[in-house]
Structure 1
Amino acid sequence: MPAEKDRTTRTAALWATAVAVPAALAVGIIAVSSLPSATPSATPASGAPQPASTVPVEMAAPALDDDETVACRALTSQLPVTVRNLAQRPVSAGPEQNVAYGDPAITVACGGEQPSFLATDLVYPLNKVCWHATETPDASIWTTVDRRVPVTVTIPKSYDSPGQWTTEFSTTVLSTLLSREDVPTGCRS
């Protein structure tokens, strides 16, 4: 009699194991697949600032005259420390006229040549600042066309909606840089 009781217990244990092991594996697979991805998003959501790279972003620093230097210092001193959740990064040259955010870096460059464009090109009045956009294979480049000292914002292609990123700087541009008198027609309100 004890041998038959042992055989029944053993069969029940085998069936329980046959059901429990696959169920535990399925629960484990579901738990692991629901964990957040370790790959950072190129279009970060708002929230806590992302850790910034400490490697300086390569930027040119064209020579500025005295008025441009004062204007660019006013602009860069008022730019936010973070844009959305992208923290500022060091730049290779001209910290009085250049600022970079995140990785890949969104850059803001003050000064340089006024942009040239066709009269038929689109201009974008964003938050009372007028911008002209050009596209390259790697980035969308937005330059003010209604300021005495131009500002250029470069947004890498990995970020969605470059115009919306550009608006993050319009308020500071508006409050620190003087308007030109000869603004393009599409910029006039």
Structure 2
Amino acid sequence: MPRFLFAALGLFVLAGCSPGPAKVAVPSPAPEVATACEQLMQALPEKVLDAKRRKTSPASTLTAAYGDPPIRVTCGVAAPAGMAEAQSQCFEVNGIGWFAKEVTDGFVFTTIGRSLYVEMIVPAKYSPEANALTDVSDAVHRFNKLVTPCI
């Protein structure tokens, strides 16, 4: 078999192994929130927990994804149900307050006390899931104004 066929076959196999765009729901925030979110999302790192950033589907400036299964980041979401309850807790990672909700396969984290709600869904594969928050904290700190400290 000629070499170019081996090379082409190798590229085909490698292409089949890389994940396609990650499906991430796109929120519909007010225009001023969307504008602020776009800056924050552009400032996110290229890796979270050593997982490389990948495309999202549908493509949006309000979403990002990392790794496989994808760690999904969305800016401009609504406040999560249960966050306003008296027993809900805020915990801090690098000065950013987060509300955590355990789900079937990991955790959903949402910023607390900031002008924008940023949601980060971290699958259990990345346990301990909260470690992913450290990688996005700089962008959140720079582009998501503190309103109320985490208590």
Length-normalised TM-score, structure 1 = 0.65
- Asked if the contact 1:54–1:90 (Cα under 8 Å) also holds between the matched residues in 2, the reply is no
- Asked if the contact 1:53–1:89 (Cα under 8 Å) also holds between the matched residues in 2, the reply is no
- Asked if the contact 1:53–1:102 (Cα under 8 Å) also holds between the matched residues in 2, the reply is no
Query: What corresponds to 1:171 in structure 2?
Result: 138
Query: Following TM superposition, where does structure 1 have runs of at least 4 consecutive aligned residues deviating by more than 3 angstroms?
Result: none
Alignment length (residue pairs): 133
For 1:92, the aligned partner's letter is S
The equivalent position to 1:85 in structure 2, one of 9, 30, 50, is: 50
1:76-113, Cα deviation, whole Å (9 max, x unpaired):
11011122421111100252110000001111110121
1:57-94, Cα deviation, whole Å (9 max, x unpaired):
11111212121111111111101112242111110025
Query: What corresponds to 1:106 in structure 2?
Result: 71
**Cα pair distance change 1:71/1:53, threshold 3 Å:** farther
- Once the two structures are TM-superposed, the CA of residue 178 in structure 1 deviates from its matched residue by 1.5
Query: Does residue 1:146 correspond to 2:113, yes or no?
Result: yes
Task: Give the structure with the higher percent strand.
Answer: 2
What is the distance in 2 between the residues matched to 1:94 and 1:130?
A: 28
Sequence identity of aligned pairs in percent? 29
Query: What corresponds to 1:8 in structure 2?
Result: none
- Once the two structures are TM-superposed, the CA of residue 55 in structure 1 deviates from its matched residue by 0.7
Higher relative contact order (CA 8 A, sep 6+): 2
**Cα pair distance change 1:173/1:149, threshold 3 Å:** same
The equivalent position to 1:53 in structure 2, one of 1, 5, 18, is: 18
Query: What corresponds to 1:162 in structure 2?
Result: 129
Which is greater in Rg?
A: 1
Query: What corresponds to 2:36 in structure 1?
Result: 71
RMSD: 1.7
What is the distance in 2 between the residues matched to 1:77 and 1:53?
A: 23
For 2:61, the aligned partner's letter is E
Structure 2's unaligned 5+ residue stretches are 1-16
- Once the two structures are TM-superposed, the CA of residue 166 in structure 1 deviates from its matched residue by 1.4
